[in-house]
A and B are shown apart, each in its own frame.
Chain A
Amino acid sequence: MADNRYDRQTRLRDFGERGQAALTNAKVLVVGLGGLGLPVVQYLNAMGVGTLGLMDQDTVELHNLQRQVLYSEDDINRLKLDVVLEKLEQQNSETVFKPFDTFLTKQNALTIIQDFDVVVDATDNFPTRYLINDACVILGKPFVYGALHGFEGHLSVFNHQDGPTYRCLYPKMPNPQEVPDCNDNGVLGVVPGIMGTLQALETVKVITGIGEVLSGELMVFDGLTQRMSKMKFQTIAEHKKRKKLEEFYDPLDCVTATTIDPKVFRDIRTTQEITLVDVRSAKEFSASHLPEAEHIPLDQLGQRPIPIPASNKVYLICQSGKRSGIAAKQLQTIYPNIEFCSILGGMNKVLPLVTDIQ
């Protein structure tokens, strides 16, 4: 079996045993095991890439299944990394897997990426895409980029030899409010399958040197018309010269949210009038809430005006304290002169302390 496992591709004159040997020796890191990342890892593993780095920290959720076709209903709530490892080990026992149970961060990016030859950007957010770009430029590694929007997919290979980088095309990272992600915007199930498969193909081309790598060109696929457009773009010297990472990637990283202990909050609200915004969903809010709370769900913050008190202090609450923390950071950037304070532990902690729940 070992002899002819890759026969159908080593037969190809332009690929051959040489191409196969290059795959065997290659180390590829795939960042993100979602809609794009799954076809990438499945094909690279099937084709015989010797070392595959796998990185994700999410668990499988029901709404992943329409596009993340390696996962089944039984996998819901399991770590994506565990499921992928299990299935890929069955698919190809010769591959060396390097699992990373983490998200890519400013702290770990350079250390992790330096051990790989090629990185595949299969992430779903701008901060990580810019971090991958910057780390790859610093380390001189090519990365295969894929990204989605609705029925549309984008593909390119950045930082390949002298070729341009992601920042040569899009120098400035968009704000989170500017461009929605799949969770907000939606994506047709099959589109990530198409784009991820194309990323796998570009990865193989980068490794083996066959064909023409999609460097210096962005390919845009429109699933509604089956039209593929390409745009050529040039290297901008300053973006190739990067020597260190940015201070911050996630724009919210540099904002810290003020928090308050639930007991302290209870004491305050019994002695004075306060302004409280509840950022939970309508369903959660109608189940139980504090009488003074104004309801603005997290996804509508920034679209709806918030109550501005004379005290200039607004308390934020959610179920566990996580969403109110995010809300505090978001609002702080919109209203720099108001003090936002997230209640630690949220309704879970406040409910047992109060008697006037509605």
Chain B
Amino acid sequence: MTILLFGITKDIVGSSTLSVPTSSATGRKIPKTVKELKEFLGETYPELNKLSSLAVAVNNSYANDSETINAYDEIALIPPVSGG
């Protein structure tokens, strides 16, 4: 699944999109919920764990940690931004 990145998450990852595998060929656990996705991404990009507020959008709606995700969902990480 492809994840769109915004704000500081784009800078942390160094790209505007990120691909997360949906089959466990690599042996890593495949994230099934928003919470698991955050943990999955946080292992590769520990800086993401430091964000105190991070909104995750699933199919253009804010998703709570418990929400399930699947390969076809459109997912975006939208942290708060402060510039003016």
A152 at the interface (CB under 8 A from B): yes
C-alpha spacing A220/B10, complex, angstroms: 13
C-alpha spacing A147/B7, complex, angstroms: 10
For residue A263, give the distance in angstroms from its CB to the closest CB of chain B: 40
A26-62 with Cβ < 8 A to chain B: 32, 34-37
B79 at the interface (CB under 8 A from A): yes
Whether B82 lies near A220 (C-beta < 8 A) is: no
With known contacts A124-B84, A179-B81, A187-B83, A229–B76 Cβ distance under 8 A? yes
Whether A220 lies near B78 (C-beta < 8 A) is: yes
With known contacts A170-B53, A174-B51, A124–B78 Cβ distance under 8 A? no
Chain A contacts of B78 at CB under 8 A? 154, 218, 220, 231
The total of chain B residues at the interface (CB under 8 A) is: 24
A112 at the interface (CB under 8 A from B): no
Q: Which of A34, A169, A174 contacts B84 (CB 8 A)?
A: A34
Whether A148 lies near B84 (C-beta < 8 A) is: yes
For residue B56, give the distance in angstroms from its CB to the closest CB of chain A: 9
A-B pairs under 8 A by CB, number? 110
Closest residue of chain B to A184 (Cβ to Cβ) is: B83
B55 at the interface (CB under 8 A from A): yes
Q: Which among B7, B50, B51, B79 has the greatest number of chain A C-beta atoms within 10 A? A: B7
B60 at the interface (CB under 8 A from A): yes
A144-186 with Cβ < 8 A to chain B: 146-150, 152, 154, 169-175, 178-182, 185
B1-59 with Cβ < 8 A to chain A: 4, 6-8, 10-11, 16, 50-53, 55, 57
C-alpha spacing A172/B52, complex, angstroms: 6
Closest residue of chain B to A35 (Cβ to Cβ) is: B84
Chain B contacts of A187 at CB under 8 A? 83
With known contacts A231-B60, A231-B61, A147–B53 Cβ distance under 8 A? no
Whether A172 lies near B53 (C-beta < 8 A) is: yes
For residue A246, give the distance in angstroms from its CB to the closest CB of chain B: 15
A186-238 with Cβ < 8 A to chain B: 187, 192, 218, 220, 222, 224-225, 229-234
Whether A152 lies near B7 (C-beta < 8 A) is: yes
The total of chain A residues at the interface (CB under 8 A) is: 44
For residue A129, give the distance in angstroms from its CB to the closest CB of chain B: 7
Closest residue of chain B to A174 (Cβ to Cβ) is: B52
Whether B61 lies near A233 (C-beta < 8 A) is: yes
With known contacts A149-B8, A174-B51, A234–B62 Cβ distance under 8 A? yes
With known contacts A152-B6, A179-B79, A230-B60, A32–B84 Cβ distance under 8 A? yes
Other than the given A174-B52, A192-B84, 5 more pairs (CB < 8 A) read A34-B84, A148-B83, A179-B7, A230-B60, A231-B61
Interchain Cβ contacts under 8 Å between A and B, 27 examples: A37-B84, A122-B84, A124-B83, A125-B84, A149-B8, A150-B11, A154-B80, A169-B55, A169-B80, A172-B53, A173-B52, A174-B53, A178-B8, A179-B8, A179-B51, A185-B11, A192-B84, A218-B55, A218-B78, A220-B78, A224-B16, A229-B4, A231-B60, A231-B78, A232-B61, A233-B62, A234-B62
Task: Enumerate chain A interface residues (CB-CB to B < 8 A).
Answer: 32, 34-37, 122-126, 129, 146-150, 152, 154, 169-175, 178-182, 185, 187, 192, 218, 220, 222, 224-225, 229-234
Task: Enumerate chain B interface residues (CB-CB to A < 8 A).
Answer: 4, 6-8, 10-11, 16, 50-53, 55, 57, 60-62, 76, 78-84
